[in-house]
Structures are given as C-alpha cells and as structure tokens.
Amino acid sequence: MTPDDLVLTPLGLRFQGRRYPCSIGRGGLSACKHEGDGATPIGTHRIVGLLYRPDRLARPADWAVPIRPSDLWCDDPGHEDYNLLVRKPFSASHEVLRRADPLYDLVLVTDWNWPYAERGRGSCIFLHQWRAPHYPTAGCIAFRRDHLIEIAGKIKFRSRLIVRPQP
C-alpha cells in the first residue's frame, strides 16, 4: 500500500494522508459481487479512467477524457459490450453518462470486472459525486463534489482503490 492508494475505511476514504467522507453501495461490501446486488466489491482495483463533463467542470487532470452527449455505459450482462463505454444509439440496457443531475460530472473508473467482463459479476464501479451526503449508491463509492475534484486532481497512474472487509 502506498500514500497514492485510495483506501476505504469505516471512517471514509483515506488518500494522501487525508480522510474523505464517502458513501458505498446500499448492499454494503461484498466479496461475491454480482449485477444488481447494490454492493461495493471488496478487493484491490486499479483506477483506469477519468471522465468529466467539460460543460460543467474544468479538466481535472491532463489524462481526463470528456463525457460526450452520446456516451453510455453498457450494464446488460447478456450483451457483448457488457461493462464497456458505448455510444448512442444503443438498445441494450445502459447507464447514461451525461446525466441531467451532477452525479457523473466527474467519474473515476475502476477496473472492476473490466476489460474482460464476466457476465453477471457486476458492471463498473465508479467513484463519483454523491446524490446527498452519505446517500448509498448502486455499488459505487460517492463523495462531496469538492472532495472528488480534489482527489481527481491528485490521483496518480499507479493509484489503486483498496476495499477491505470491514469489522
């Protein structure tokens, strides 16, 4: 473990000597994650992407990729593009990345069940803005907007998200 790792603790996410309040999935933590369980998967996950809304935020890091109006994330376990970024038009089940609310204005993408997705194991785990303070997610980890922007600006290529079983 390094100071550049993001470590989930019972008191929040620890990163570079600071703790950030956050929320996790409504299903708690799980070592056996599956699609639709609402759980945050236990394990060590690499940060593999950084997406942002250029119409709402300045680019948070030089490697950040803008979210376009047609960007979607496939969450259909039966589709060949399961757990991948796809574009409109797309008829299979998906999440819209360019949302009306600010939830996905800034998204750190983990390598959970990616790039070779096992069907039904759960689609991507994002780090994104919370809906309301400590409001549970569908499995992702969510933060205050200013904290997420701060984290995104400091994250390194070697940073990992570490989720351990909690007491």
pLDDT in tens, the chain (167 residues): 899 999 999 999 999 999 999 999 999 999 999 999 999 999 999 999 999 999 999 999 999 999 999 999 999 999 999 999 999 999 999 999 999 999 999 999 999 999 889 988 999 999 999 999 999 999 999 999 999 999 999 998 889 999 999 87
The Cα 137–Cα 165 span in angstroms is 18
> Where along the chain do its domains lie?
6-163
Look at residues 70, 66, 71, 72 and name the one whose alpha carbon lies nearest to residue 50. 66
Q: Does domain 6-163 have CATH number 2.40.440?
A: yes
Q: Are 123 and 36 in contact (CB under 8 A)?
A: no
User: DSSP character for 133?
Assistant: T
Contact criterion met (CB below 8 Å) for 143 and 113: no
Pairing outcome for strands 6-9 and 94-96: unpaired
